[in-house]
Amino acid sequence: MTSLAKRIFGETGIIDKEYISDFSKSFYEYSLEQRKKESQRALAKHPNKVPCLLFKGTEDTPDSKNHKYLLPKEMLVTEFMTVIRNYVKLAPDQAIFLFVGDSIPRATSTIEELYRDYKSDDGYLKITYTIESTFG
């Protein structure tokens, strides 16, 4: 695991509560069963979409307006990065890095592939993002 991934996920590979947003903290106040029911309801109502939760990786990462998404299964990781970029209002010299589990997904992966490989026990695909300056 890279040092950035360790900082975000901790040694256990679980998102470090120190770095997650207020949304994330409040989300985990719901029981596993409640979160499971919500994701199952979303899947039943929208069979061509994937329930996704977006977490910011570090405290200094700008917060996204939206944290819960129903993403089309055929959407590419790069397309979702563009969506996040629009919500976070990044400068042109800033880059987005996504983490799913303890790895960075391929840009050409579909959301369906990520969901199949990384969905959590509560039925959500959990994606963490960080922002880094890339120039200068």
pLDDT value of position 26: 57
Segment 84-114, tens digit of pLDDT = 888 888 888 888 999 998 899 999 999 999 9
Please provide residue 69's backbone torsions phi and psi, each rounded to the nearest 5 degrees: -135, 150
Sole residue written with tokens 């994701």: 39
pLDDT in tens, 28-66: 677 888 889 989 999 999 999 999 999 888 777 777 777
pLDDT tens across 119-130, in order? 999 999 999 998
Domains of the chain by start residue, with CATH: 3-133 (3.10.20.90)
Q: Is the dihedral of CA 108, 48, 114, 65 positive or negative?
A: positive
